[in-house]
Structure 1
Amino acid sequence: MLTQVADGVWVRQSEWVWTNSVVVRGDAGLVVVDPGIHGAEMDGLADDLDRLGVPVVAGFSTHPHWDHLLWHPRLGDVPRYATDACARLAGERRERAQAMATESATGVPLELVALLTPLPADGGPVPGEVVEHRAHALGHAALLLADRGVLLAGDMLSDLLIPLFDVTQDDQVGAYEEALDRLADAARRVDVVVPGHGAVARGPEVAARLAADRAYVDALRRGEEPADARLAAADWLAGPHGANREQARR
């Protein structure tokens, strides 16, 4: 079910890697950010939106990974926006995203995967300010809703997942350093951060999330092993962490 985290901002979490679908009320109606993951969960999200009684006017994808490119017919035939780079990559990699959705999720309407359009310069119906960077994925975007005191961080600032480098780009250490600087500037204007995966951060936890990601990246920059509790909490992160270390050495 939807949980309200601020005025006009709701979150619904999937069982799949603690993925957060976010709903934001804008001037024209609701904008659904990164809905997922299983078809039944998106159907439940649509039930929640029916109870709100406000129409969905748009979608938004924070980055071009398959689990952030999903949609459901009950959410409506509306534009689904992203940054220019995200929309382009989603289109180029659509078949791969569909294959990964088939492998990892159930009941996903594959014909609706990765159908994105670039966000217009004025933001269209999507409220807030886009904070774009290239950490984790090219065209990655956070949404700063300063008037609500909320930052939708995409796949950053998770309490459960370490920074996950994009293997298709060079210098992800530098990309993360730059992205964290941008997110830190945005976070000064909020007291709630919603990551793509994991628990919502409130108050002092926002700074703690930034510090944890910085400490991880800084350790790799120095060629050291990060002392990060997230690695101990999830064995499967050993693989991505090893890939991060290899890229940082190059």
Structure 2
Amino acid sequence: MFKQVADGVWVRQSEWVWSNAVVVRGEAGLIVVDPGISGSDLDQLADEVDRLGIPVVAGFSTHPHWDHLLWHARFGDVPRYATAACARVAGEARERAQKMAAESASGIPLDLIGLLTPLPADGGPVPGELIEHDAHAVGHAAILLADRGVLLAGDMLSDVLIPLLDARRPDQVSAYEAALDRLDEAARHVDVLVPGHGAVARGPEVAARVAADRAYLDAVRRGDEPVDVRLDQDWLAGPHQSNVAQVRHSSE
């Protein structure tokens, strides 16, 4: 379950919506990115981290949705970073995130959810370049590990999830398209893409992920039904219709 996808980058996938927890080796130790989802997942991830024999020095949350705000005491009492906007929203919505976590998974340490601090300007112990945007969620961030040819994309560029627009905020399509422009530029310099949910992409698959999200958004903006294999999953019908309604409303 714990797979090394590049030098100093490991991924463990949960059965819950194919969620990917990522562990990155930095200069001072390990950074655990978006660990989850259930208590058993967190325990097994902690077992794998222990076997690496390298201390955890920090955590990182890519955005303020509950499934990306989790933690376990076995990772240690270390700083858990995010963008300033993500840390602010996570703090404001912490009780809601705890409730959603309790309803959706079991064995999660609820008291450790969403305890984030803004990443310092110099990046602190988190290696690579942060790519911050507001697609899908406020303060969303990807991490570009250019020296290792890896892009950690957060909840973007998935092979199983369509673009999920934030229905609470205006004109998410434009925000999403702007984010894709930035991620596309970053993706041109990597061989491995790790989405928040779904399979790790390699080689030509990386560009194909960007193209798929662009094609979906282009169709929705035109008012056409997207030709997208991800929509074969019945449970995505609701989110898709929410996207359609948001685009229709923003164009009125």
TM-score by length of 1: 0.99
SS in 1 for 2:18: coil
Q: Contact 2:188/2:207 (CA < 8 Å) preserved in 1?
A: no
Aligned to 2:241: 242
Distance 1:137 1:67 in 2: 13
Q: Residues 159-170 of structure 1 correspond to what in structure 2 (within 5 A)?
A: 159-170=159-170
Tell me the number of residue pairs that the alignment of Structure 1 and Structure 2 aligns: 249
Q: Contact 2:171/2:247 (CA < 8 Å) preserved in 1?
A: yes
Aligned to 2:95: 95
The one-letter code of the counterpart of 2:236 is L
SS in 2 for 1:225: coil
Distance 1:113 1:131 in 2: 23
SS in 2 for 1:124: coil
The one-letter code of the counterpart of 1:245 is V
How far is the alpha carbon of 1:55 from its aligned partner?
A: 0.1
The one-letter code of the counterpart of 1:67 is D
> Is residue 220 of structure 1 aligned with residue 225 of structure 2?
no
Q: Residues 22-101 of structure 1 correspond to what in structure 2 (within 5 A)?
A: 22-101=22-101
Distance 1:248 1:213 in 2: 15
Q: Residues 50-199 of structure 1 correspond to what in structure 2 (within 5 A)?
A: 50-199=50-199
Q: Percent identity?
A: 77
SS in 1 for 2:62: coil
> Is residue 21 of structure 1 aligned with residue 26 of structure 2?
no
Structure 2 unaligned blocks of 5 or more: none
SS in 1 for 2:183: helix
SS in 2 for 1:161: coil
RMSD: 0.5
Distance 2:216 2:95 in 1: 33
The one-letter code of the counterpart of 1:32 is V
TM-score by length of 2: 0.98
How far is the alpha carbon of 1:108 from its aligned partner?
A: 0.2
How far is the alpha carbon of 1:171 from its aligned partner?
A: 0.4
How far is the alpha carbon of 1:159 from its aligned partner?
A: 0.4
SS in 1 for 2:160: coil
Structure 1 unaligned blocks of 5 or more: none
